[in-house]
Amino acid sequence: MRCAAMTVDVDRDVNLAEKGRIGGVSRERDGNDSPRFKSAAKGLKLIVSILEDLGIHGTFFIEAETAREISKTTDLRSLLRSHEIAAHGIMHEDLTGADSRVRLTTQQIEEIIVGGANSLKEVLKRRPVGFRAPYLHIDDSVLRLLAQEGYIYDSSIVRRQDRGEVYPYRVFGPLIEAPIYSGSDKEGKKLVSYLWSLHERERNISDYEYMVSKFSAGLLVLATHSWHMVESYNDGLLSEKKASDNMKWVRTIIQGAIDRGIEFMTIEEYIEERMGD
């Protein structure tokens, strides 16, 4: 059985970790690196429209502050009513301190994990059961805390799969890891199912189509950021032409997978329906 989940990280625009700071910043523009949220909001509406056109339910990992910011101008609850919502920190914190160089205490990490979920519940009236760490920075102690705080799954680990098979697996106690897929392109070079390199114009859509064609069993977790539809690190705010290419590419990858008989669902649905005890 081949299943796929389209996952979207909804967080501050073109985010980066900054040394000495717990929360993330946005890539500097006009000398200012304060967090921005406009591209995240704009891209979110575009991605939701693609998923709904294709009749699939996505999984949205939403940073709490971004949820509050987008909610000021958009009815986020209604926009995402038929999709899964999952947690992605409060201010896009670097939980392991790998880039920020800030070593968080267990209590601080707990507050981020619990507080992020509580804030989403306030805004969206639903409690998330899944988590993705900002920058995918995760370690065993964060995973243990997620299990302890009642999360059902995490999706922050990238797993290389040369045979095209990838299944969610148990990590700590009841906590399940739904890994991000990493396969190969035609030349055998590593290619991750995050569409990052596609939107930065460092990879072609045919690379991803090839990767999808080699996926043979399990759950293929595809991932992107909402802001990446309209802004990138390499090009800044995108022209209408580039933004419309992004939309076309995302649609083509998903449609191509559907045409190959891959069934799309949320990560939560996959775990509930296929991993029940």
Closest to Zn ion by CB, 3 vs 92, is 92
Bridge partners, 101 (sequence order)? none
How far is Cα 47 from Cα 35, in angstroms, rounded to an integer? 21
Q: Tell me which of 35, 134, 164, 179 binds Zn ion, using CB under 5 A.
A: 134
Instruction: Assess 94 for contact with Zn ion (CB under 5 A).
Output: no
CB of 24 to Zn ion, least distance (A): 7
Closest to Zn ion by CB, 199 vs 212, is 199
Looking at beta carbons, which residue is closest to Zn ion?
A: 11
Closest to Zn ion by CB, 23 vs 134, is 134
Closest to Zn ion by CB, 11 vs 207, is 11
CB of 155 to Zn ion, least distance (A): 12
Residues 3-22 that bind Zn ion (CB under 5 A): 9, 11
Piece of 25-33, 127-135, 181-189, 267-275 that binds Zn ion (CB under 5 A): 127-135
CB of 9 to Zn ion, least distance (A): 4
Q: How many residues belong to the site for Zn ion (CB under 5 A)?
A: 3
CB of 132 to Zn ion, least distance (A): 7
For residue 236, count other CB atoms closer than 10 A to its CB: 11
Which residues contribute to the site for Zn ion (CB under 5 A)?
Answer: 9, 11, 134
